Structure 1
Amino acid sequence: MAEGTLYEKYGGFSQISRIVLSFYDTLLDNDEIGPFFDDVDMSRIVDHQTKFMASLLGGPASYTDNQLRQLHSHLSITDAHFDELEEVLRGTLSQHGMTAEDIEVVIAEFEKRRPLIVR
């Protein structure tokens, strides 16, 4: 774990896991995004997403760009879906006490992955 990262600042893996659980609570109720998770093992996806989110905050990286592309290649995720995910992420990070400046850093990292996820 790198010194001075957002990952460390916001409590490491256990706190990131709480943020991800809140994120999915909101997503699953979303009419546009929720259906993507209808037939998904949620415990598995929460674990994967926690690792992904940790990497966005400067923690250990678990996925390469190629892996992210492959994991999402069978989905029809549009820019509108990605925008919705980004808004939910922004709101969730805020609810968990992240500063506006730090949220923008995370969103910028998330945005860099758009070409890997959107089809």
Structure 2
Amino acid sequence: MFKLLSRALSGCGVVVLTACTATAPHPLPDDSLYQALGGQAGIDRVVEGLLYRIADDERIVHHFADTDILRLQEKLQEQLCVEAGGPCEYTGDSMAEVHAGFAITESDFNALVEDLIAAMTAEGVPVPAQNRLLQRLAPMRSDIIYR
């Protein structure tokens, strides 16, 4: 492949070389976290486990009383897939819109994170992968608490 690329580029002049590199395909996104989570099947299992944990978590279950759980499951799967670098598109509302009016506290937020960690651990997701995912999700915190 390198020889083919080298031959193709060696025939380009300076001006044409710029055009050749400008139209080159973009590198694929890093999906190593997606793979470490077990791909889509692994993400689906983590989300399912998370939802069961939320249902049993007296600290936060009340926040989900009027939630369409199937829609929540679908949007969480999409979101985790996107954040992990997978081949997905998030089609839900922004975190600020979704959490508006819920007055979610830091304690509520931390409880959900604990449940997510427990779900990932139960699925055998390595701790470094868990930390990478949590790091990618962390910027959403300000759009979730005290809304």
TM-score normalised over the length of structure 2:
0.72
Give the conservation status (yes or no) of the 8 Å contact 2:33–2:132.
no
2:119 to 85, 92, 98: 92
Query: Does residue 33 of the first structure (1) align with residue 60 of the second (2)?
Result: yes
In structure 1, the gaps of 5 or more residues are none
Give the conservation status (yes or no) of the 8 Å contact 1:51–1:61.
yes
Q: Residue 45 of structure 1 corresponds to which residue in structure 2?
A: 72
Distance 1:5 1:61, change over 3 A: farther
1:7 to 25, 30, 34: 34
Q: Residue 62 of structure 1 corresponds to which residue in structure 2?
A: 90
Rounded Cα–Cα distance in structure 2 between residues aligned with 1:81 and 1:101: 24
Identity level (%): 21
Rounded Cα–Cα distance in structure 1 between residues aligned with 2:38 and 2:29: 13
Helix, strand or coil: the match of 2:94?
helix
TM-score normalised over the length of structure 1:
0.87
* Aligned residue-pair number: 118
**1:31 CA drift (Å):** 0.6
Which 10-residue stretch deviates more, 51-60 or 83-92?
A: 51-60
Find the structure with the greater CA-based Rg. Answer: 2
Rounded Cα–Cα distance in structure 2 between residues aligned with 1:22 and 1:101: 19
**1:70 CA drift (Å):** 0.8
Q: Which runs of 4+ in 1 moved over 6 A?
A: none
